[in-house]
Chains A and B, each alone.
Chain A
């Protein structure tokens, strides 16, 4: 029997519309055999958390380039905790200053993928992480 497909929610929070990265990752994860749900643009943390529950995902991938990551992630992680979704792996891809990375990880973000990361590296990270969980 084949393994259950890994389910990933790719989300684009905040007001930014630059969705090239989100869409490329969505396609790369799908090509790697994962089940990918893309939220579309301008998702609030509330919308992302409820989509994650509804779709019963293993992974939430946030694409953030706008500098609004601290505000967005703090709220999202709080919502996920409140809803008991502590086993979901939350990843960020985008432009995140090094100075913010430690605090984001402390808040429960599993990994932050900066510009220049290969899609293969992200696929492998998710496979390992979800297999362990």
Chain B
């Protein structure tokens, strides 16, 4: 502390505190990370702005990955949508595009996410409820009817069955005459965070990592503008992790994927530029901004120093962000518009490449069209009215933001080193390490809310009685309609051809071939997602987790 600061503390601060003490004994972020009273130059001792901050568009990318940031191009406004049948969702997609949305993002229903057809007994009651039901190429064709895949970029939130779903997308693109070399979009395809947090897994880690590696390898050759993976912290955070855990586990997952690709014999600069990331945008404004800035700095170092990447495009961490679903309250739902706006602003000030803003009604249901429109308008207001897009990294150089960025970075490196010491992420998952860290953090947070150490407006303070708002009703007949479609599909296709393709897929899975070409042939023969995933269950086995409570 400088003499001037000490003098300020004695002469100005202490008399004030004597009269009016702090509201709390300690001040922490939503992740319970301690925040000091004041940040000054003393918090940045030894910090070198030339090497640790740099310039926008230049390593270590703390200030963002583009030299002009949002002055030349805004982030992609990409609203996640999907419900009911492919036709229902196709209508919502075309509405969102007509309202100024600039990219598509597909939400699949739970049976699809788990690799079951809509008519599987395990799908009962779940078809089209949490997303759109896609059981075959015929559904995928309906989903993108009148939407030219050559012109629109599409993100698909699908993980365990990512490879067959991507095969369907590529088949639709081909049928539309869109060039695979030019189409663009993102496949989530991040199986590690499924074992860690979201739990939509089918197969064990080893064959799952092989499928991920297959898609990255296939993409590097055939779809150079498509992101074959979106390494995701979002779900880790939603499961209750802290910001530092979200950052650390996500980046360590990224390292694991890179190692698998290198193990396949790929060169790092051939695939690393197309690795993309996905982070949560939670309530704690500065902690989130520090997280995004630290993410870029860590990844740049990982790429250059750990993996020896030489292409600057490999060094630059690109990310999508989504506002925090778990922060939305069922009570007083209109308050969620405000929460989402604050979270979205953090993502923008943190330099996001694309953004989804949640709708006010999502603590209750999938969003109505009206609620989804307000969510999109929130992004447009930040982009065009707030002025924060006029300059790159407006918070760069702030004592607090830079100090917090450093601290979040250090916290993440500590975790990365611990996971390295455990033998990597798959080994850590098998020992339950990240799962236990997240469960502990989630419980600590719940206790803090229950004891009102953390205030959630409308939930544990400022309560009000209110009626539930109108929510989106999912047509209950979607399951039956899907079952009819599947019956017709199985009657109309060549079942001999389907059997041939599934047999060749099974053989390939038992060997070492890249599965993508086999999957593309299978989906083109209208083999269903359930048939494909079930064909792979036999050589691959299924994963059972040891639940940690």
Q: Which residues of A contact B (CB under 8 A)?
A: 10, 14-20, 22-24, 26-28, 30, 36, 38, 40-41, 44, 66-68, 70-72, 95, 97-98, 114-116, 118-120
A71 CA to B479 CA, complexed, in Å = 12
Q: Which 7 A-B pairs have the closest CB atoms?
A: A17-B199, A71-B125, A15-B110, A68-B125, A26-B549, A67-B129, A40-B547
Best-buried of B111, B124, B474 by chain A (most CB within 10 Å):
B124
Please state if B125 and A23 are interface contacts (CB–CB under 8 Å).
no
B122 within 8 A of A: yes
B545 within 8 A of A: yes
Residues of B within 8 A of A71 (CB): 124-126
Can you list 14 pairs linking A and B with CB atoms under 8 Å apart? A15-B110, A15-B123, A16-B130, A18-B198, A24-B240, A27-B439, A66-B110, A67-B130, A68-B110, A95-B330, A95-B363, A97-B471, A115-B330, A116-B456
Contact for B129 among A22, A27, A38, A68, CB less than 8 A: A68
B442 within 8 A of A: yes
Contact for A118 among B450, B458, B545, CB less than 8 A: B450
Please state if B365 and A97 are interface contacts (CB–CB under 8 Å).
yes
Please state if A28 and B446 are interface contacts (CB–CB under 8 Å).
yes
Chain B nearest Cβ from A16, distance in angstroms: 6
Please state if A20 and B239 are interface contacts (CB–CB under 8 Å).
yes
Given A41-B547, A95-B364, also A18-B199 (CB < 8 A): yes
Residues of B within 8 A of A14 (CB): 110, 125-126
Contact for B329 among A16, A68, A116, CB less than 8 A: A116
Give per-residue flags for B449-462: 1 if the beta carbon is below 8 A from chain A beta carbons, else 0: 11000001011100
B331 within 8 A of A: yes
Please state if B442 and A23 are interface contacts (CB–CB under 8 Å).
yes
**Interface positions of B from 475 to 534, Cβ below 8 Å from A:** none
Residues of A within 8 A of B124 (CB): 71
Residues of B within 8 A of A44 (CB): 122
Complex: chain B residue closest to A36, CB-CB? B549
Please state if B442 and A70 are interface contacts (CB–CB under 8 Å).
no
B259 within 8 A of A: no
Chain B nearest Cβ from A64, distance in angstroms: 10
Residues of B within 8 A of A118 (CB): 449-450, 460
A27 CA to B438 CA, complexed, in Å = 13
Please state if A97 and B468 are interface contacts (CB–CB under 8 Å).
yes
B43 within 8 A of A: no
Residues of A within 8 A of B442 (CB): 20, 23-24
Contact for A40 among B114, B446, B449, B545, CB less than 8 A: B545
Please state if A67 and B474 are interface contacts (CB–CB under 8 Å).
yes
Contact for B545 among A20, A24, A41, CB less than 8 A: A41
Give per-residue flags for B432-450: 1 if the beta carbon is below 8 A from chain A beta carbons, else 0: 0000000100110011011
Please state if B547 and A38 are interface contacts (CB–CB under 8 Å).
yes
Complex: chain B residue closest to A99, CB-CB? B468
B200 within 8 A of A: yes
Give per-residue flags for B102-127: 1 if the beta carbon is below 8 A from chain A beta carbons, else 0: 00000000110110100000111110
For the complex with contacts A66-B110, A120-B450, 10 further pairs of A-B residues with Cβ separation under 8 Å are A14-B110, A17-B201, A23-B443, A24-B442, A40-B545, A66-B129, A70-B125, A116-B331, A116-B458, A116-B460
A13 CA to B547 CA, complexed, in Å = 14
B17 within 8 A of A: no
B238 within 8 A of A: yes
Residues of B within 8 A of A15 (CB): 110-111, 113-114, 116, 122-123, 126
A14 CA to B363 CA, complexed, in Å = 19
Please state if A116 and B459 are interface contacts (CB–CB under 8 Å).
yes
Given A27-B549, A72-B125, A116-B331, also A16-B110 (CB < 8 A): yes
Complex: chain A residue closest to B125, CB-CB? A71
B370 within 8 A of A: no
Residues of B within 8 A of A36 (CB): 549
A40 CA to B468 CA, complexed, in Å = 31
A46 CA to B129 CA, complexed, in Å = 22
Chain B nearest Cβ from A9, distance in angstroms: 12
Given A14-B126, A15-B122, A67-B129, also A23-B439 (CB < 8 A): yes
Chain A nearest Cβ from B445, distance in angstroms: 9
Chain B nearest Cβ from A79, distance in angstroms: 15
Complex: chain B residue closest to A69, CB-CB? B125
Please state if A38 and B126 are interface contacts (CB–CB under 8 Å).
no
Best-buried of A10, A44, A118 by chain B (most CB within 10 Å):
A118
Given A67-B365, A97-B364, also A38-B549 (CB < 8 A): yes
Given A95-B364, A116-B329, also A19-B468 (CB < 8 A): no
Chain B nearest Cβ from A109, distance in angstroms: 16
Residues of B within 8 A of A120 (CB): 450
Please state if B364 and A20 are interface contacts (CB–CB under 8 Å).
no
Residues of A within 8 A of B439 (CB): 23, 27
A63 CA to B439 CA, complexed, in Å = 16
Chain B nearest Cβ from A105, distance in angstroms: 16
Please state if B114 and A23 are interface contacts (CB–CB under 8 Å).
no
B548 within 8 A of A: yes
Please state if A24 and B446 are interface contacts (CB–CB under 8 Å).
yes
A23 CA to B436 CA, complexed, in Å = 11
Please state if A68 and B126 are interface contacts (CB–CB under 8 Å).
yes
Chain B nearest Cβ from A21, distance in angstroms: 9
A92 CA to B539 CA, complexed, in Å = 38
Chain B nearest Cβ from A107, distance in angstroms: 15
Best-buried of A19, A70, A98 by chain B (most CB within 10 Å):
A19
A19 CA to B197 CA, complexed, in Å = 8
Given A17-B200, A116-B329, also A66-B126 (CB < 8 A): yes
